[in-house]
A and B are shown apart, each in its own frame.
Chain A
Amino acid sequence: MDAVIEGGFTDRVLGAQSVFRATMDALARPGTVQSIASDAAPPAPLTQELGALALTLCDQDTLVWLDPVLASSEAVTGWLAFHCGAPLTADPSQAQFALVTEARHLPKLDVLGQGTDEYPDRSTTVVLAAAAGTQRVTLKGPGIKNRLDTELPLPGGDFLAQWADNRERFPRGIDILIVRDGALVALPRTTRISEA
């Protein structure tokens, strides 16, 4: 029970404010690395960064999809229930947020909530814990002056092709927050990614 009650932000209000502000800056400047360092201490396999974002953005008004690793952990579901109170869904297309511990558990982007043409905001925001390793890419789009050549811990496989399709669906589509080592990089649906 202690593991459930412990591990929220020590300062609930300012902890959430600082993580939110970093997330806002990250989405406003796609590809830039923003610190989301916090004292959130969720139980494994929920990472510190995933936990911090859940504390900041999820509550009783948001449906959350958990990847199989998280969904099968009672410690994790108990912690999220206590600290966020967010209802869970097994249907990724219904989720406002999808918490993903590894790229291989990331659903195909087109099965996540895309929003509608009239309400493109009714879409899923993915929070993905990235593994080690990066890929050289060039980003373009709103929030980026001309172009940004950078290295990002993107999922492998056909992710870039899926992302191109996601970009094509604009204004519908998903947004991704990629987290690792106390930091966050965001890719809003407007960002164009090409291999450098």
Chain B
Amino acid sequence: MNVAAYNFAYLDEQTKRMIRRAILKAIAVPGYQVPFASREMPMPYGWGTGGVQITASIIGPEDVLKVIDQGADDTTNAVSIRAFFAKVANVAVTTHTAEASIIQTRHRIPERTLTEGQVLVYQVPIPEPLRYLEPRETETRKMHALEEYGLMHVKLYEDIAKHGRIATTYAYPVKVEGRYVMDPSPTPKFDNPKMHMSEALQLFGAGREKRIYAVPPYTEVVSLDFEDHPFEIQHFEEPCALCGATGVYLDEVILDDHGGHMFVCSDTDNCEDRREHGHRGTLAGHALEAAE
């Protein structure tokens, strides 16, 4: 990427003002998708340009930035975005959730409870939760305006009819403060309860779809469900093989060609922190390289 001649945090001031105005409206109307004039960024759309534009518009020299991709700080995507801001905004970066003032994320919410003053910036591919039910933007906008969310309930109920349960496991729709149905981005539904009454400000940016939305701190975020089929998060049979953690989101890692596998923390910072504090899983002796 060519960032030879750039403004602080890359974006020009007029673009930042436009995005900042959108962020303020998004906070004032929790869960409502504010349109904004998304800009080209020096990275492809799949790399979370919506999140990058939000981070670029809020970040200041005092901030400490953490970037995660599927829970990991060390993927190409996360490393590139972190390096980008270290260069164009000269900010401190970290992998430790507790040290970060801004956490930009793709597809996970950290396991460690976020605290007041932290901002979680989500990279969102498709912001419209009703899109699969109604492709026309003019119609979905009307449905949000009229709070016509019956179709969404029908879709979830069809799941139950077909699978005996709600089969949606990612991007599981939520209702914000009893008003707007919102897509939490493709996080596992495991993370949905973390959004509810979070102390942190949550900002969502969809670059290609040109939408910004927000959940302020201490805001009700309820996963849609039915009385006879209440919302449930995923449960894992075994603890993390490396740190022994339970009650966290695990990824399956293939170890060899003979069906060997293990389940490990998706949140790499949380896993490392636990191991540093002496927690051991059943495969902790095996070097991680064996899995790579």
Contact = CB atoms under 8 A, between A and B. Distances in A.
A188 B22 contact: no
A121 B14 contact: no
B155 interface: no
Given A29-B217, A142-B218, A190-B28, A121 B61 contact: no
A143 B60 contact: no
29 contacts: A14-B61, A16-B13, A16-B16, A16-B17, A17-B9, A17-B60, A20-B20, A20-B58, A21-B60, A23-B24, A24-B27, A24-B201, A25-B117, A27-B27, A27-B216, A28-B216, A57-B17, A96-B21, A119-B141, A120-B32, A121-B32, A123-B25, A142-B218, A142-B219, A143-B219, A145-B217, A170-B29, A170-B179, A190-B28
A38 interface: no
Interface of A: 12-14, 16-18, 20-21, 23-25, 27-29, 56-62, 96, 116-121, 123, 125, 142-145, 170-171, 175, 188-190
Contact of B216 (A121, A143, A170): A143
B93 to A, nearest CB: 18
Contact of A189 (B29, B57, B117): B29
Given A28-B216, A143-B216, A171 B16 contact: no
A17 B30 CA distance: 23
Given A13-B8, A143-B217, A190 B22 contact: no
A23 B199 CA distance: 17
Given A14-B60, A21-B58, A142 B216 contact: yes
B31 to A, nearest CB: 9
A188 B27 contact: yes
B207 to A, nearest CB: 18
Nearest to A188: B28
A171 B255 CA distance: 51
B29 A28 contact: no
Main secondary structure of the interface of A (DSSP, over half): loop
A137 to B, nearest CB: 18
B29 A120 contact: yes
Given A27-B24, A118-B145, A144 B218 contact: yes
A28 B27 contact: yes
Given A24-B24, A190-B216, 18 more contacts: A17-B8, A17-B9, A17-B58, A20-B57, A21-B58, A21-B60, A28-B217, A57-B24, A62-B21, A120-B25, A125-B24, A142-B220, A143-B218, A144-B218, A170-B29, A171-B179, A175-B24, A189-B28
B212 to A, nearest CB: 10
A91 B180 CA distance: 30
B34 interface: yes
Identify which of B9, B29, B34, B201 gathers the most chain A CB atoms within 10 Å of its CB: B29
Contact of A142 (B22, B145, B177): B177
A59 B28 contact: no
Contacts of B60: 14, 17-18, 21
A164 to B, nearest CB: 17
A130 B101 CA distance: 31
A117 B218 contact: no
Contact of B32 (A59, A144, A171): A171
Nearest to B17: A59
A163 to B, nearest CB: 14
Contacts of A27: 24, 27-28, 216
Contact of B218 (A18, A58, A121, A145): A145
A62 B22 CA distance: 12
Interface string B137-178: 000011011100000000000000000000000000000010
Nearest to A123: B25
B18 interface: yes
Q: Which 4 residue pairs of A and B lie closest in terms of their CB atoms, listed nearest first?
A: A117-B145, A188-B28, A121-B25, A143-B216
A145 B115 CA distance: 13
A123 to B, nearest CB: 8
Interface string B109-150: 000000001000000000000000000000001101110000
Nearest to A29: B217
